[in-house]
Amino acid sequence: MKRFYQQVGVTSGDQGHQVRLDGKPVKTPARAALALPNEALARAVAGEWRAQKKTVKPEAMPLTRLANTAIDRTALHKGMVIGEIMNFARHDLLCYRAGGPEELIRIESEAWDPYLAWARESLGLAFKVTTGVETIKQDQQTLAKLEALLSLLDPYRLTALHTATTLSGSAILALALWQGRGTPAEIWKAAQADEDYQTGKWGADREHQKTLGARRDLWLAAGRFLAALKSAPPSGKSK
């Protein structure tokens, strides 16, 4: 749609930090107020609206899309969103290793073992690892700890974690993104260890690389979203 506004601003009040266009509050697709939990995220979202030129391009506004999802979906269906993350965690990318060749085994180990060690030491999440296609059953205590951790999060952080999990195939890497265990670009590179190996061997398909580029951009946006939330309480119970 054409840009229909001149001024973009942020106001703060009892309803949170609202993005306003020409003084009017922005609405989500479900017609809820686009209210953010802290000023930093509100200003980041406002920046996307301000950056639009003659036309408003939703695909160029990933922070706005994440905020809309948090308000319209995650806040209303928190249990379902947590369940979707848990489904990935039960079969996490980092826990399924190649049986060969030796080069790929080494690449996966170097890329993924540090994150598994971090999850175990920092979060108490001890994930099991297997080789090949054989399904491994994760320890119920680990899964229960992860689910309890996710249940404490506000819809905004949970939305970013869900997005990062689905993009990478790894709840562990999504947690690392949230906790700042490396830069977003570094963590994404770890998620692409297998992909990069195959590309190095067989070359890159242009359309596939374009899709991967779009996924990487959204991953980096989730990282910016989480970084902007640092001053907001994780539970979302107060502003």
- Cα–Cα dist 204/194, whole Å: 13
Q: Does residue 220 share a domain with residue 117?
A: yes
**Which among 65, 90, 105, 224 is positioned nearest to 169, based on CA atoms?**
90
State the alpha helices, DSSP H only, in 52-138.
62-69, 78-90, 102-123
My answer on whether 37 and 95 are in the same domain is no
Q: Are 132 and 26 in a shared domain?
A: no
Q: Does any domain span residue 100? A: yes
Whole-number Å distance between alpha carbons of 12 and 89: 37
pLDDT band at residue 208 using 50, 70 and 90 as cut-offs: confident
**Judgement on whether residues 104 and 157 belong to the same structural domain of the protein:** yes
The CATH number assigned to the domain holding 190 equals 1.10.3580.10
What residue type is 119 in one-letter code? A
Q: Are 101 and 198 in contact (CB under 8 A)?
A: no
Q: How many CA atoms lie within 13 A of 153 on its CB side?
A: 26
Bridging pattern class, strands 96-97 and 130-131: parallel
3-state percent breakdown (helix, strand, coil) of the chain, nearest 5 = 60, 10, 30
- Co-location of 39 and 128 in the same domain: no
Q: Do 105 and 52 fall into the same domain?
A: no
Q: How confident is the model at residue 104 (pLDDT cuts 50, 70, 90)?
A: very high
Structural domain boundaries, residue 21 = 8-57
Q: Percent of the chain beyond pLDDT 70?
A: 98
- Average pLDDT over the chain reads 95
Structure tokens at 163: 């997005």
203-to-107, 126, 215 alpha-carbon distances in Å: 18, 36, 19
Over residues 115-152, the pLDDT tens digits come to 999 999 999 999 999 998 789 999 999 999 999 999 99
Predicted local distance difference test score (pLDDT) of residue 238: 37
Q: How far apart are CA 82 and CA 61, in angstroms?
A: 24
Does residue 129 sit within a domain? yes
The owner of tokens 């306003």 is 20
- Report if pTM > 0.85: yes
At 102, is the pLDDT very low, low, confident or very high (cuts 50, 70, 90)? very high
Q: What CATH number is attached to the domain comprising 16?
A: 3.30.2180.10
Is 236 part of any domain?
Answer: no
In a domain, residue 130? The reply is yes
Query: Does residue 88 belong to any structural domain of this protein?
Result: yes
Type of residue found at 170: S
Query: β-strand 24-25 against 8-13: which pairing, if any?
Result: unpaired
Listed residue (132, 60, 135) closest to 98, CA to CA: 132
